[in-house]
């Protein structure tokens, strides 16, 4: 298997706001070319790598985009106001370093600031600073200076963070949602290289998941697979501030197979798909956890509602502090997730037929 830490760093450290996934797509194509018969980008911007075979058509979907910001206004003093792109918890943004991406491809370093606490009234200090009261300082002296530097209305903004190792095989970085799912997909394709598989496999890097599951919807419509798996991350309940009763998923205890997410408003995975994924894990002695979630959903929600319906499951990496610049996961879970995806693909023909 590939060096997962290095591969995860390669993808995590790259920048790809929703709708601006080009740099990440290029990296994904580079990784998938040796593992596929054909790699292309569709009109929406999705990367589609196809490994041809006889049997059912299996789609693996991992979204390429990350949450970030976008410039909405530059004031006369050169400070940038912004809107969120994707789901941010405001408090995680304050005092972060960011990159403002210019049309010329430059990354302007910036800092997220707000009114200093020293000048706040007592009541102000008791309240969290809201995103609307934050701004980005790129060192510009005025509006003309900011424009000359390359900032403008519509400039994408991403967090300035790099992946680092923690203890016991854990890592922390930005955009592990969903660069971890991308690595899981690439590593699974690598595990299958040179092995006979009774299936045609489409490994798809989808766009704009964080803002409406858009790329998954269009790519699934075009490919019409017989079965699909979304690879993503799952919220954990193994740290202070939350109980295992609220969320029994834990990092380090194996990849996650979703039963239901968003209280059923997302996907309710069908029994045949659950049997397939659980059977793959058990036959290969891969530890796994089951998720019944009340929070967000994944590309699977859009895929399984495409056309007449596509049987779809979700395999995720347990990840702490999702939608923050310091997400944390276990490399062992990531490795086992890749093994589970590969085993599911290998056994798909035993459960599904090409329609």
Backbone torsions φ then ψ of 62, nearest 5 degrees: -130, 120
User: Rounded to an integer, what distance in angstroms lies between the CA atom of residue 322 and that of residue 318?
Assistant: 10
> Which candidate, 227, 233, 221, 220, places its Cα nearest to that of 347?
227
User: Rounded to an integer, what distance in angstroms lies between the CA atom of residue 310 and that of residue 202?
Assistant: 14
Is 72 in contact with 85 (CB distance < 8 Å)? no
Q: What is the DSSP string of 342-355?
A: HHHHHHGGGT----
Backbone torsions φ then ψ of 66, nearest 5 degrees: -125, 155
State the CB neighbour count (10 A cutoff) for residue 329.
29
User: Rounded to an integer, what distance in angstroms lies between the CA atom of residue 281 and that of residue 315?
Assistant: 11
Q: Which residues fall within 8 angstroms of residue 139, CB to CB, at 6 or more apart?
A: 110
- Encoded tokens for 338: 């890749």
- Encoded tokens for 237: 């309940």
Q: What is the DSSP string of 48-76?
A: EEEE--SS-EEEEEEE--B-EEEEEEE-T
Peptide bond into 238 cis (omega under 30): no
Residues classed as catalytic: 209
The alpha helices in the chain, defined as continuous H runs, are 4-12, 22-32, 122-125, 143-149, 176-192, 214-223, 271-283, 299-303, 331-347
């Amino acid at each position: 298997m590939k060096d997962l830490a290095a591969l995860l760093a390669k993808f995590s450290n790259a920048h790809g706001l929703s709708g601006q996934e080009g740099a990440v797509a290029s990296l994904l194509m580079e990784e998938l070319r040796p593992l596929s018969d054909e790699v292309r980008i569709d009109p929406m911007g999705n990367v589609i790598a196809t490994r041809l075979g006889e049997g059912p058509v299996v789609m693996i979907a991992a979204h390429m985009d990350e949450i970030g910001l976008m410039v909405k206004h530059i004031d006369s003093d050169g400070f940038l106001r912004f809107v969120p792109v994707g789901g941010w918890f405001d408090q995680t943004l304050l005092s972060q370093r960011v990159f403002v991406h210019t049309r010329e491809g430059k990354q302007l370093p910036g800092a997220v600031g707000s009114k200093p606490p020293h000048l706040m009234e007592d009541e102000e200090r008791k309240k969290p600073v809201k995103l609307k009261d934050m701004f980005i300082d790129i060192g510009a002296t005025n509006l003309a200076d900011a424009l000359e530097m390359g900032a403008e209305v519509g400039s994408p903004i991403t967090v300035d963070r790099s992946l680092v190792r923690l203890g016991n095989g854990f890592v922390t970085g930005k955009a592990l949602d969903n660069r971890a799912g991308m690595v899981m997909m690439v590593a699974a394709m690598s595990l299958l290289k040179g092995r006979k598989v009774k299936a045609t496999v489409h490994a798809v890097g989808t766009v704009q998941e964080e803002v409406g599951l858009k790329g998954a919807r269009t790519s699934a419509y075009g490919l019409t697979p017989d079965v699909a798996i979304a690879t993503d991350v799952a919220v954990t309940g193994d740290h202070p501030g939350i109980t295992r009763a609220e969320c029994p998923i834990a990092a380090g205890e194996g990849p996650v197979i979703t039963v239901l997410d968003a209280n059923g408003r997302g996907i309710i995975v069908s029994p045949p798909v659950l049997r397939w994924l659980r059977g793959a894990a058990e036959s290969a002695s891969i530890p796994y956890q089951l998720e019944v979630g009340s929070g967000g959903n994944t590309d699977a929600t859009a895929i399984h509602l495409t056309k007449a319906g596509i049987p779809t499951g979700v395999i995720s990496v347990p990840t702490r502090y999702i939608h923050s610049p310091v997400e944390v996961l276990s490399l062992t879970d990531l490795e086992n997730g890749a093994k589970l995806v590969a085993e599911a693909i290998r056994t798909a023909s035993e459960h599904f037929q090409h329609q």
